[in-house]
Amino acid sequence: MHELRVDVFDDPACPWCLVGLRRLDNAIAALGDRAVVEVVHHPFLLDPSASPEGEDVVEMLTRKYGRPPFDAWDRLEQEAKSAGLDLDMRKQKLRHWSQPALALIAAADIKGIQHELAVALGRANYLEARNIADPEVLVDIATRFGFSPEEARAVAGSAEIHEQIAIAAREATQQGIGGVPFFIIAGRFAFSGAQPQDVFDQAFEAALAEAA
Protein backbone atom coordinates (compact mmCIF):
# COMPACT_ATOMS: atom_id res chain seq x y z
CA MET A 1 0.00 0.00 0.00
CA HIS A 2 1.33 3.42 -0.96
CA GLU A 3 1.66 6.32 1.45
CA LEU A 4 0.78 9.78 0.16
CA ARG A 5 0.94 13.19 1.81
CA VAL A 6 -1.38 16.08 1.07
CA ASP A 7 -0.48 19.59 2.24
CA VAL A 8 -3.44 21.94 2.57
CA PHE A 9 -3.35 25.68 3.13
CA ASP A 10 -6.72 26.73 4.44
CA ASP A 11 -8.73 28.85 6.86
CA PRO A 12 -11.96 27.77 8.60
CA ALA A 13 -13.29 31.27 7.81
CA CYS A 14 -13.22 30.33 4.11
CA PRO A 15 -16.38 28.64 2.78
CA TRP A 16 -14.62 27.44 -0.37
CA CYS A 17 -12.19 25.60 1.91
CA LEU A 18 -15.10 23.60 3.31
CA VAL A 19 -16.05 22.53 -0.21
CA GLY A 20 -12.46 21.79 -1.17
CA LEU A 21 -11.87 19.66 1.91
CA ARG A 22 -15.03 17.69 1.17
CA ARG A 23 -13.81 16.97 -2.36
CA LEU A 24 -10.43 15.98 -0.97
CA ASP A 25 -12.14 13.55 1.41
CA ASN A 26 -14.24 12.18 -1.45
CA ALA A 27 -11.08 11.56 -3.47
CA ILE A 28 -9.33 9.87 -0.54
CA ALA A 29 -12.34 7.63 0.04
CA ALA A 30 -12.32 6.64 -3.63
CA LEU A 31 -8.75 5.36 -3.28
CA GLY A 32 -9.97 2.58 -1.03
CA ASP A 33 -7.09 0.45 0.20
CA ARG A 34 -4.68 1.54 -2.53
CA ALA A 35 -3.08 4.24 -0.38
CA VAL A 36 -2.81 5.65 3.10
CA VAL A 37 -3.13 9.43 2.93
CA GLU A 38 -1.76 11.87 5.50
CA VAL A 39 -3.32 15.34 5.34
CA VAL A 40 -1.26 18.16 6.84
CA HIS A 41 -2.84 21.58 7.34
CA HIS A 42 -1.02 24.90 7.13
CA PRO A 43 -2.56 28.19 8.29
CA PHE A 44 -3.73 30.95 5.98
CA LEU A 45 -5.52 34.07 7.14
CA LEU A 46 -8.27 34.93 4.71
CA ASP A 47 -8.72 38.26 6.49
CA PRO A 48 -5.73 39.18 8.69
CA SER A 49 -7.56 42.30 9.89
CA ALA A 50 -10.63 40.41 11.16
CA SER A 51 -11.68 41.34 14.68
CA PRO A 52 -12.58 38.98 17.53
CA GLU A 53 -16.07 40.51 17.58
CA GLY A 54 -16.75 39.52 13.98
CA GLU A 55 -18.06 41.61 11.09
CA ASP A 56 -21.29 41.52 9.12
CA VAL A 57 -20.31 39.36 6.18
CA VAL A 58 -22.70 40.90 3.62
CA GLU A 59 -21.50 44.42 4.42
CA MET A 60 -17.86 43.33 4.39
CA LEU A 61 -18.07 41.54 1.03
CA THR A 62 -20.13 44.32 -0.56
CA ARG A 63 -17.52 46.85 0.52
CA LYS A 64 -14.67 44.65 -0.71
CA TYR A 65 -16.08 43.71 -4.12
CA GLY A 66 -18.45 46.59 -4.82
CA ARG A 67 -21.56 44.42 -5.03
CA PRO A 68 -23.58 42.13 -2.75
CA PRO A 69 -22.35 38.53 -2.54
CA PHE A 70 -25.64 36.77 -3.22
CA ASP A 71 -24.96 35.67 -6.81
CA ALA A 72 -21.55 34.35 -5.79
CA TRP A 73 -23.15 32.57 -2.85
CA ASP A 74 -25.65 30.85 -5.15
CA ARG A 75 -22.76 29.42 -7.17
CA LEU A 76 -20.91 28.41 -4.02
CA GLU A 77 -23.98 26.64 -2.67
CA GLN A 78 -24.36 24.70 -5.93
CA GLU A 79 -20.72 23.64 -5.79
CA ALA A 80 -21.18 22.58 -2.18
CA LYS A 81 -24.26 20.55 -3.11
CA SER A 82 -22.32 18.75 -5.84
CA ALA A 83 -19.75 17.78 -3.19
CA GLY A 84 -22.44 16.48 -0.83
CA LEU A 85 -22.81 19.49 1.48
CA ASP A 86 -26.05 21.28 2.34
CA LEU A 87 -24.67 24.82 2.56
CA ASP A 88 -26.76 27.95 3.12
CA MET A 89 -24.46 30.97 3.11
CA ARG A 90 -27.17 33.20 4.54
CA LYS A 91 -27.11 31.33 7.87
CA GLN A 92 -23.72 32.63 8.98
CA LYS A 93 -24.13 36.37 9.49
CA LEU A 94 -20.58 37.21 10.61
CA ARG A 95 -17.04 36.77 9.35
CA HIS A 96 -15.26 35.54 12.45
CA TRP A 97 -11.69 35.94 13.60
CA SER A 98 -10.04 32.59 12.86
CA GLN A 99 -6.66 32.69 14.63
CA PRO A 100 -7.92 30.81 17.74
CA ALA A 101 -9.36 28.07 15.52
CA LEU A 102 -6.16 27.92 13.47
CA ALA A 103 -4.17 27.63 16.69
CA LEU A 104 -6.16 24.54 17.63
CA ILE A 105 -5.69 23.04 14.18
CA ALA A 106 -1.93 23.55 14.46
CA ALA A 107 -1.84 21.98 17.93
CA ALA A 108 -3.89 19.01 16.73
CA ASP A 109 -1.06 17.85 14.47
CA ILE A 110 0.69 15.92 17.25
CA LYS A 111 -2.62 14.30 18.21
CA GLY A 112 -3.08 12.87 14.73
CA ILE A 113 -6.51 14.45 14.26
CA GLN A 114 -5.58 17.71 12.55
CA HIS A 115 -7.59 17.10 9.40
CA GLU A 116 -10.67 15.94 11.27
CA LEU A 117 -10.59 19.01 13.51
CA ALA A 118 -10.09 21.37 10.56
CA VAL A 119 -13.12 19.89 8.81
CA ALA A 120 -15.20 20.08 12.00
CA LEU A 121 -14.37 23.76 12.51
CA GLY A 122 -15.30 24.62 8.94
CA ARG A 123 -18.57 22.73 9.29
CA ALA A 124 -19.33 24.45 12.60
CA ASN A 125 -18.78 27.84 10.99
CA TYR A 126 -20.77 27.42 7.79
CA LEU A 127 -23.15 24.50 8.24
CA GLU A 128 -24.07 25.20 11.87
CA ALA A 129 -23.49 29.01 11.88
CA ARG A 130 -21.50 28.82 15.12
CA ASN A 131 -19.06 31.48 16.28
CA ILE A 132 -15.63 29.90 15.83
CA ALA A 133 -14.04 32.85 17.65
CA ASP A 134 -15.98 32.04 20.83
CA PRO A 135 -13.70 30.17 23.28
CA GLU A 136 -16.55 28.03 24.56
CA VAL A 137 -17.54 26.97 21.05
CA LEU A 138 -13.93 26.05 20.36
CA VAL A 139 -13.70 24.09 23.61
CA ASP A 140 -16.89 22.21 22.74
CA ILE A 141 -15.50 21.21 19.35
CA ALA A 142 -11.90 20.54 20.41
CA THR A 143 -12.86 18.26 23.29
CA ARG A 144 -14.44 15.90 20.77
CA PHE A 145 -10.97 15.45 19.26
CA GLY A 146 -8.79 14.67 22.25
CA PHE A 147 -8.24 18.09 23.83
CA SER A 148 -9.07 18.67 27.47
CA PRO A 149 -11.14 21.82 28.11
CA GLU A 150 -8.15 23.46 29.81
CA GLU A 151 -5.80 22.60 26.96
CA ALA A 152 -8.24 23.85 24.34
CA ARG A 153 -8.70 27.19 26.13
CA ALA A 154 -4.96 27.62 26.58
CA VAL A 155 -4.15 26.88 22.94
CA ALA A 156 -7.01 28.93 21.48
CA GLY A 157 -6.13 31.92 23.66
CA SER A 158 -2.35 31.79 23.30
CA ALA A 159 -0.95 35.07 21.98
CA GLU A 160 2.30 33.25 21.19
CA ILE A 161 0.55 30.68 19.00
CA HIS A 162 -1.51 33.42 17.35
CA GLU A 163 1.73 35.16 16.39
CA GLN A 164 3.12 31.90 15.02
CA ILE A 165 -0.03 31.51 12.94
CA ALA A 166 0.31 35.05 11.59
CA ILE A 167 3.97 34.44 10.67
CA ALA A 168 3.19 31.14 8.94
CA ALA A 169 0.33 32.75 7.02
CA ARG A 170 2.59 35.58 5.84
CA GLU A 171 5.21 33.06 4.75
CA ALA A 172 2.59 31.20 2.73
CA THR A 173 1.71 34.43 0.95
CA GLN A 174 5.39 35.13 0.29
CA GLN A 175 5.69 31.65 -1.25
CA GLY A 176 3.06 32.65 -3.80
CA ILE A 177 -0.07 31.23 -2.22
CA GLY A 178 -2.57 33.99 -2.86
CA GLY A 179 -5.79 32.24 -1.98
CA VAL A 180 -7.23 29.18 -0.34
CA PRO A 181 -7.84 26.35 -0.33
CA PHE A 182 -4.48 25.41 -1.82
CA PHE A 183 -3.54 21.75 -2.17
CA ILE A 184 -0.22 20.02 -2.78
CA ILE A 185 -0.58 16.29 -3.40
CA ALA A 186 2.50 14.08 -3.00
CA GLY A 187 4.72 17.16 -3.06
CA ARG A 188 4.20 17.62 -6.80
CA PHE A 189 0.63 18.17 -7.86
CA ALA A 190 -0.51 21.61 -6.72
CA PHE A 191 -3.70 23.51 -7.39
CA SER A 192 -5.73 26.30 -5.86
CA GLY A 193 -9.42 26.50 -5.12
CA ALA A 194 -12.22 23.99 -4.67
CA GLN A 195 -11.54 22.37 -8.02
CA PRO A 196 -13.97 19.90 -9.61
CA GLN A 197 -13.90 16.40 -8.14
CA ASP A 198 -12.06 14.95 -11.13
CA VAL A 199 -9.10 17.29 -10.56
CA PHE A 200 -8.58 15.74 -7.12
CA ASP A 201 -9.12 12.23 -8.45
CA GLN A 202 -6.68 12.70 -11.34
CA ALA A 203 -4.01 14.18 -9.07
CA PHE A 204 -4.17 11.14 -6.80
CA GLU A 205 -4.05 8.77 -9.77
CA ALA A 206 -0.97 10.58 -11.10
CA ALA A 207 0.69 10.43 -7.69
CA LEU A 208 0.01 6.70 -7.41
CA ALA A 209 1.35 6.11 -10.93
CA GLU A 210 4.59 7.87 -10.02
CA ALA A 211 4.88 5.88 -6.80
CA ALA A 212 4.37 2.53 -8.52
Give me the residue spans of the domains in the chain. 2-211
Distance CA(168)–CA(24), nearest Å, equals 23
- pTM summary value: 0.96
Distance CA(70)–CA(62), nearest Å, equals 10
Alpha-carbon distances of 75 from 1, 47, 69, rounded to whole Å = 38, 21, 10
pLDDT for 49 equals 85
Residue 102's identity, in one-letter code, is L
pLDDT tens digits, 35-48 = 999 999 999 999 98
* Domain topology for 2-211: Glutaredoxin (3.40.30)
pLDDT tens digits, 135-190 = 999 999 999 999 999 999 999 999 999 999 999 999 999 999 999 999 999 999 99
pLDDT for 129 equals 97
Q: Residue 206 pLDDT > 90, yes or no?
A: yes
**Under a CB-based contact definition with an 8 Å cutoff, are residues 38 and 111 in contact?**
no
